[in-house]
Each structure stands twice: as C-alpha cells, then as structure tokens.
Structure 1
Amino acid sequence: MTNIKSKLPLVGDTIFSEMSQLAQQLNAINLGQGFPDFQPDNELLNAVCQAVQQGSNQYAPMTGVPALRQAIHDKVIAHQGRSYDINAEITVTSGATEALTSSILALVQSGDSVVLIDPSYDLYAPVVTLAGGHPVHVPMNPPTAGNPRFSLNWDAIADAINQQTRLLVLNFPHNPTGLTLREEDLDALEQIAARHPFLILSDEAYEHIVFDERPHVSPVSRPVLAARCVLISSFAKTLHATGWKIGYCCAPVEISREIRKIHQYSVYSVNTPFQAGIAAYLKQSQTVQTLSAFYQKKRDRLMHGLASTKLRPLTSEGTFFLLADTQALGQTSEKELAIRLTREAGVATIPVSAFYPEPSSPLANHHLLRLCFAKQDTTLDAAIERLAGL
C-alpha cells in the first residue's frame, strides 16, 4: 500500500460537521451550523428556473457571467463606495470558501507570515499552511463583566506585523463574535499599513447583516487600503441559499490576475443558471436593503428568549450569530458544555473555543457558545423552550 503523507495532518472533521451530526443523531434543534431552515425568495427561485429553461446551462466565463459581475460592481459601489472593473477586477467564485482559498494560495508564498485575528474562522489557518505560510494568531480582547463584548487589540496586531507579513485577514461583521468595524479601526489599520507593505484579505460574507442602524465599514472604503485589499463576499448569506455556493472576490487588477490563475484550475467556472438567476433577481429585489431589519428581529427574539434561561446573551452587532455566556451552568470546557446541551436540552450550538488554534486551552475557553438565529421563529421558540428547562 502506498504511504500518503498528509499536507494537513492536524486537520480532521470540523466542529460544524461534528455538532450537526450529533444534532441529527439526537434529533436536536441545530442552532450550531450557520444555515437558514427556510426557503429563499420565490422570485429568486423562479429567476433561476427561468435561466435554466432559457438555456443558461453551459460553462460560464471563467470570471463569471457578465450580468452578475455588473450587479456585483453596482452593489459594491452602493455599499462600500469602491468601483471595480467588471472585466479585470471582479471574479465570481464557488462560494466565499473558494474565493478565500484561491486568494490565499495565490498570494501567500512559502515562509510568509499571515496574521489571523482570533477567534477566527476555521478555514484560514489550514489554507495558509497549505500555501506554505505561517499563521500568526493575535487574540481579541475577550468579554469582561465591565465590557461584555469582544474588542480588537490594534497594538497587538501592529506588534505581530513585520517585514515577513504577507497578509492580514479580516472578517467583519465577525464570525463568531458578531463584532463590526468602526471608522477608528480603519484609522488604526491605515497607520499600520503606512509602515509595512502587507496585503489585506477582507472576508465580508455578512456585509448586509448589520444591526441597530450601524453602517457596514469596509477597508475598501479607504483608497489607500483598497489598493492592497481583496474584498470577498457571498450570496449564500444574503439570499438564504447557502447550498448554491456563489461568491465573489474584488481586487486590483494585478492581484485579481494571480487569484484567477488559481481559480481557473480549481473550479474553472461557477454554476451558470444560478449566476444568471441571481443577476436577474438583484435587478428588481430589495433583499439587500431589508436584510438587516429581517435578521435583527430574529436576533432580538432569541436574545429576549434566552433571558428566561441560564444562558446570558451577548449583544451581536452583525452576522446571524450571537454568543451566550454559560458560566451559570458550570466551569466545564465550552465543547463539553455544547455536547451536554445537545444531549440534555436537545439544542446544538458551537463552542467559541473551536475558533482558536488550541481549542482545549484555557485561553480559548471563555464560557461562550455561538448560536445561529437564521431560523424560523417556531424553531427559535422551540429552542428557547428547551433551553429554559436546563
């Protein structure tokens, strides 16, 4: 038998797969993995069906269907204030996952350092390793009694960046903490960028889910940052269609050229009728404008419901996740508690410790679980009722 040497020997099944599988086995309500349990808009479904019937069933251009690239161009101008050339600087990808992977593989060379802000999405570090790079983890300041929210430590980020730093990965609105950027964050980032020539990867998959009338603040809104930034987003979260895997990346032409070299040999092109359907739908839909209000009602429903349980919700500024403090349930590790809640209460969650490089470390365990509220109201109410029985 041939011996196979793994390129990612420390990588196994993700915590999302693990908790979803446990939820299925126990018939638990799954508030762990981030996907809606309701259908996309019928008009969107009809637009995709119409694209199929009208013949959009062959390979799309490698860079994406022109109509969708135009729609992305118009959307980014409207919401981030940045114009990208639809032919040279916008690429449609197989979800944000492929956009992130292709970008990291294209931009990170062997020996480069990549700064990740923890807790961080679990894709980043393995792909950096696959590219031959070295992940440098910088933790956020965890919640305290006086400040019950995560916060960025820009001094620590600045200290982690040096001449070997190739890439800084940002993810705002932030998964899992729900934190959003402020203009003062971009001020701090500009000051660091003035000292070092690193690139920025901005994962903005939840860009249209921001609460309490906060604006979505993106690095590409600042010209000096946009010149070195890859903007990545996804229609999965915006259109309630995570299974379609349609994302995109926008970047200056010289950066896009390198990303496209990886993209064309990873997937070549992306599902044609879904691209065409989304492009047609965006011309007449108000989904983007109403999404924050739609999810804010669900956030508030879950927060108010958790007040009757042993879990103490933290405020979520964006995404369709919120964190809950579990200290009233004991001092076990977050993963142990997540498994316990799935078994005893019939509600699956995600331990925030899973978003750190060493999940079992005390530094990764702040007695927090992540709950997804992208669910029907009946689902949320049933989960709250179960959790109230703890």
Structure 2
Amino acid sequence: MAATEHPTQRPPLNRRLAVFGTTIFAEMSALATRTGAINLGQGFPDTDGPEEIREAAVRALRDGRGNQYPPGPGVPELRTAVAEHQQRWYGLGYDPDSEVLVTAGATEAIAASLLALLEPGDEVVALEPYYDSYAACIAMAGGTRVPVTLRPDAGSGTYHLDVDELRAAVTDRTRLILLNTPHNPTGTVLTRDELSAIAELACERDLLVVTDEVYEHLVFGAEHIPLAGFPGMRERTVTISSAGKTFSFTGWKVGWVTAPAPLVNAVRSAKQFLTYVSSGPFQYAIAEALRLPDSYFHALRTDLEAKRDLLADGLREAGFGVFRPAGTYFVTTDIRPLGEDDGFAFCRALPERCGVVAIPNAVFYDHRDQGAPFVRFAFCKGEQVLAEAVSRLKSLASQGRWS
C-alpha cells in the first residue's frame, strides 16, 4: 500500500462531530490576529481577576498543594467553598462530600453530564440560540437535540421564552432539558414565572434538567434564580457553574456541579474518563475566591454594567439594532438597520471594514434563518478598548452595504 493511501474510504472524523467543523471562535480569533482587529468575539476579559486570588494560586504552587493529582471529586477546600456559596447566595444546601463535583470548567461539566445522563436516541430540549458546545456534547452522547427558540422583541430590546412552545417540544422520548440562564448569547435572564413553568413541566413529565449558570453573578437589573430551588427540582437538577466568568481567570478552567448524590455519582462516572482531574493549584485559589466579600461581586457587576452600557449605546449610535442584555458578557445586535441581513458575511468582512471582530449568532441556532441577521459583541474588555471599538464601528453607517 502506498504511503499516501488510506486503508478505508470512511472519513477519519466520526459523523456525529463532522457536521460541526472548526468552531466560529477559532475562525474569528484567527481573523482578529491576522488583521490586528479588536476582538469582541470571544468572551474572555483582557485583564486578570483579583490579585489576591492570583497570589493564592502562586502560594498553592509553592506549598505543593495540587501539583500532583488532586482528589477525583475535587479538593475538599473547593467543594466546601462551592457548597457554602450555594447556601450563601441562594439558600441551597449541598453536602460537599457527596453533592459537589469539580470539573475542568463548565464545558467539561456539561459534556460529562450529557454523556452520563443520556442514552442514544434520548431527546434533549435546549433553548436556541445556544452555546455551541451544547450541540456537540448532545451529539457525542448520541442524543437528539430539540431546539426551542427564544424570540427577539425589537420593541422591548429583549428576548423571551414561549413556555407553550417549550411544553410542546417535550415528547415521550425527552430525557432532559438543557437550560442556560443568564443566557449566552442573548443576555436573557429567565424570570421567576418562566422558571416556575419550567419546573412544573419537568416535574409533570419526570424530566431531568441540566442548568448552565456560569454567568450567575453577571446580572444587571435582574435576579438570577437557580432552578434547583423550585419545588420538586432539587432532586432532578444538575446545576453547573464555574470560576472563569466570575473571577476573570478563564484560563484556569475550574468548574463545578452541584446535584443530589445519585446525579453527581453519574456525572463523576463520565468525568473520570475525560480529564480525570485538572487545575490542582487553581482549585485552592478558587476556594478562596468564592469566599470574597459581597463587595467584590457587587463591584464586578457594576463595572460590567457600565461596560455593557458603553458598548450598547455606541452600537446603537453606529446604527445597529441593540438588544440590551440583562446578564452575561454579550450584546446581541440586529444588522438589518445597516442594510445587512447575513451575519456570517458581515462578521467575516467586519475586521477589514473597520477593525473589529464579532460573532454571527446564526452559529448558535439549528434554525439558521432565525439567527441570520443577528451579531454578538463581547463587552468584557477595558473601557478604552470598547471606546475605540465603538469609534471604529461608527464608520459603518457611512460605508453602505457591500456584496
């Protein structure tokens, strides 16, 4: 056999993943690097988090804590801190020894949860637009994705969940609902009434719910309410969060799961064959971070709210339709007022046009046409960076449509 021949005609990548290709984040970040554009695509801060938490990681390294494999469920100090955090902020009690699991960021927590809880053919109801790893993880688990679309309301500048549409999406094959609030990319924070309806549906149809709550402390003029606190939901909810967004150390990849012991045991059974363990010294640092005073969390929220307003107001002045988010790092915009309707073409041309990178929302949809005219910008950057990006974006109004 010649060296260049392949032993089979089947492509190397399995068909469940082949449809996903390279993530849009990799594509747009590479475009930002090549053009020198301001990257408002990917959701990572351009400055580090609290100095005392960074020093806590250094101290753990020097003291030899976490330099070898940490315990599979996570170091006891962090598991205890996570349980304290859930009690402190939401009044939810979890046993740190049996109901908390530390993961390699929320992404691994989501993957492990879906791999553990799904059988091939199970249906997963997810709100679209959705974070792109959801689709890939459902596919890897052999599940079937059933999207329920959040609908934009240009009049109020917000997105809304149609609870009747959610209820209609549930069938006898539905195993779980995959929920994200505060919601990426729309910035929606589900209301108490919406969450109550979801809880009633889950109990009525005996569904599990996996909730991604990584933006729990990044809410503006709204209230984040964990679904696990609703009647009948604690025993059927896997709650996921992480340190990256709250403490601006996204590269540390420290996440966690809180759930009743049977669900944690199931997720841990899958997680142990993914990374097994990770982020040893950083786990000790995040244990300290979770115990920071309330003033830290309030200051973080105030800072990001100001940055949200700076970018949202600037985008509106630049001619975009703007959906002002109630949470997260992101502002979703409508490009149709600029004479455009193809978010992919718009984002791929934007770095050359005015030196800014954004993400087309259509990548977060099964129904691509629903997301076609919408584009997401991240505001978790320095104010000078955002001001410069706004200045550049304001040149669009005078450029006209391109083909």
**TM-score category of the 2 structures, normalised to the smaller one:** over 0.9
Verify the 8 A CA contact 2:82 2:290 in the aligned structure 1.
no
Q: Deviations over 1:97-153 (max 9, x none)?
A: 000000000000011111111111111122111111111111122233x34321001
Q: Which residue in 2 is equivalent to 1:130?
A: 140
Question: Would you say 1:236 and 2:244 are equivalent positions?
Answer: yes
- The correspondence for 1:210, drawn from 201, 212, 219, is 219
Q: Which residue in 2 is equivalent to 1:95?
A: 105
Q: 1:178: Cα distance to partner? A: 0.3
1:220 aligns to what SS in structure 2? helix
Number of equivalent positions = 385
Amino acid at match of 2:321: R
Verify the 8 A CA contact 1:341 1:348 in the aligned structure 2.
yes
Cα separation, partners in 2 of 1:303 and 1:46, compared to 1, 3 Å: same
Provide the rounded CA distance (Å) in 2 between the counterparts of 1:113 and 1:58.
39
Amino acid at match of 2:224: H
- The correspondence for 1:259, drawn from 263, 267, 271, is 267
RMSD across aligned positions (CA): 1.4
- The correspondence for 1:24, drawn from 13, 20, 33, is 33
- The correspondence for 1:71, drawn from 81, 84, 89, is 81
Q: 1:358: Cα distance to partner? A: 4.7
Q: 1:268: Cα distance to partner? A: 1.3
Q: 1:351: Cα distance to partner? A: 1.0
Verify the 8 A CA contact 1:80 1:220 in the aligned structure 2.
no
2:41 aligns to what SS in structure 1? coil
Q: Which residue in 1 is equivalent to 2:394?
A: 388
2:381 aligns to what SS in structure 1? coil
Question: Would you say 1:200 and 2:209 are equivalent positions?
Answer: yes
Question: Would you say 1:13 and 2:22 are equivalent positions?
Answer: yes
Provide the rounded CA distance (Å) in 2 between the counterparts of 1:54 and 1:148.
50
Verify the 8 A CA contact 2:38 2:357 in the aligned structure 1.
yes
2:18 aligns to what SS in structure 1? coil
Q: 1:290: Cα distance to partner? A: 2.8
Provide the rounded CA distance (Å) in 1 between the counterparts of 2:366 and 2:7.
31
- The correspondence for 2:379, drawn from 373, 387, 390, is 373
Q: Which residue in 1 is equivalent to 2:400?
A: none
Q: 1:300: Cα distance to partner? A: 1.2
Verify the 8 A CA contact 1:239 1:287 in the aligned structure 2.
no
Q: Which residue in 1 is equivalent to 2:401?
A: none
- The correspondence for 2:370, drawn from 348, 363, 367, is 363
Q: 1:277: Cα distance to partner? A: 1.5
Greater CA drift, 264-273 or 23-32: 264-273
Q: Which residue in 2 is equivalent to 1:150?
A: 159
Greater CA drift, 281-290 or 164-173: 281-290
Greater CA drift, 331-340 or 165-174: 331-340
Provide the rounded CA distance (Å) in 2 between the counterparts of 1:124 and 1:43.
33
Provide the rounded CA distance (Å) in 2 between the counterparts of 1:206 and 1:284.
17
Provide the rounded CA distance (Å) in 2 between the counterparts of 1:200 and 1:290.
31
- The alignment's TM-score, normalised by the length of structure 2, stands at 0.92
1:43 aligns to what SS in structure 2? helix
Verify the 8 A CA contact 1:96 1:246 in the aligned structure 2.
yes
1:76 aligns to what SS in structure 2? helix
Q: Deviations over 1:157-187 (max 9, x none)?
A: 1011122110101000000000001110122
Question: Would you say 1:270 and 2:281 are equivalent positions?
Answer: no
Cα separation, partners in 2 of 1:5 and 1:295, compared to 1, 3 Å: closer
Provide the rounded CA distance (Å) in 1 between the counterparts of 2:7 and 2:81.
49
Q: 1:269: Cα distance to partner? A: 1.3
- The correspondence for 1:108, drawn from 104, 108, 118, is 118
Provide the rounded CA distance (Å) in 1 between the counterparts of 2:93 and 2:186.
29
Amino acid at match of 2:365: Y
Cα separation, partners in 2 of 1:244 and 1:169, compared to 1, 3 Å: same
Question: Would you say 1:140 and 2:150 are equivalent positions?
Answer: yes
Q: Deviations over 1:227-282 (max 9, x none)?
A: 10000001000110111110001111111111001111111112211011221343
Greater CA drift, 171-180 or 13-22: 13-22
Amino acid at match of 2:206: P
1:166 aligns to what SS in structure 2? strand
**Long gaps (5+) in structure 1:** none
Provide the rounded CA distance (Å) in 1 between the counterparts of 2:365 and 2:26.
17
- The alignment's TM-score, normalised by the length of structure 1, stands at 0.95
Q: After TM superposition, where is structure 1 displaced by more than 6 Å over at least 4 residues in a row?
A: none
1:317 aligns to what SS in structure 2? coil
Provide the rounded CA distance (Å) in 2 between the counterparts of 1:309 and 1:370.
15
Cα separation, partners in 2 of 1:111 and 1:281, compared to 1, 3 Å: closer
Verify the 8 A CA contact 1:119 1:140 in the aligned structure 2.
yes
Verify the 8 A CA contact 2:203 2:232 in the aligned structure 1.
no
